[in-house]
Chain A
C-alpha cells in the first residue's frame, strides 16, 4: 500500500529565502502525487500534481516539485518565500487500495519578516 511521509512537521524560513518542504513516498507502483496548501481557517487548495508525465511539476504561486523515483521523493520548493506562503502543506499520494488518497501529516510553514 502507498504511504506518504512528510519529514518535517514545522519549517520556518525568512521572507525572501528559499522554501523546501520534504515528502517521501512508498509505493510498489508509479503513484500520482499532489501537494495541497491550507491557509488558516480555509479549505485545502491544490498546489500541483504529478501524474507520470514530466518529473518537474510547476504549480501555482511559484511552487514546484520534482518527482525522483530513485529517492522516492516529491519535495516542494519555492525560490523565494512570501509572507502569504505561511500555511499548512500536505503531501498526498494515491493508493492502490480502497482509499483514493493518502495524506501526509502536514508541514506547517512559517515565514519570518
Chain B
C-alpha cells in the first residue's frame, strides 16, 4: 500500500493568495483527518470526515479555511486568502472504523506564506 499521499510536499506563496492542499487516504479507510503542526501550538486537529461527510470542523481556525471530500479517495484543504500566520506543516491522516482510531499519517505539506 502506498500509504497516505499528500501534495504538494512544499508550498511557498505570498500573503493573500489561495492555497490548496491535497490528500489521498489509504484505500478502504473511511475516516480522514486534517491536522496542522506548528512549534507554538503543536499538533492541532482541524477537521475530520467519515464516509466523505464532515463530522467535526471545530478546529478550523476561521472562515478562510475550508475542506472538502468529494469522494472516498480525495480531499482538499483550502486557505483563501492565506496569511503569514498560516505557515505550518499540514498533515492528512486516515483510519478505518473499528480499528480503535488507529490513524496513518501522510508525509505532510510544509506551507510558507510570505
Contacts and interface: CB of A to CB of B under 8 A. Distances in A.
A42 B107 contact: yes
A98 B57 CA distance: 10
A99 B108 CA distance: 20
Given A43-B108, A44-B91, A44-B105, A94 B100 contact: yes
Given A32-B100, A49-B102, A100 B33 contact: yes
Nearest to B58: A98
A16 to B, nearest CB: 30
Contacts of B110: 41
B103 interface: yes
Contacts of A46: 102-104
A101 B100 contact: no
A106 B44 CA distance: 12
Given A44-B93, A94-B101, A103-B42, 9 more contacts: A43-B105, A43-B108, A44-B105, A46-B104, A90-B43, A100-B31, A101-B103, A105-B42, A106-B43
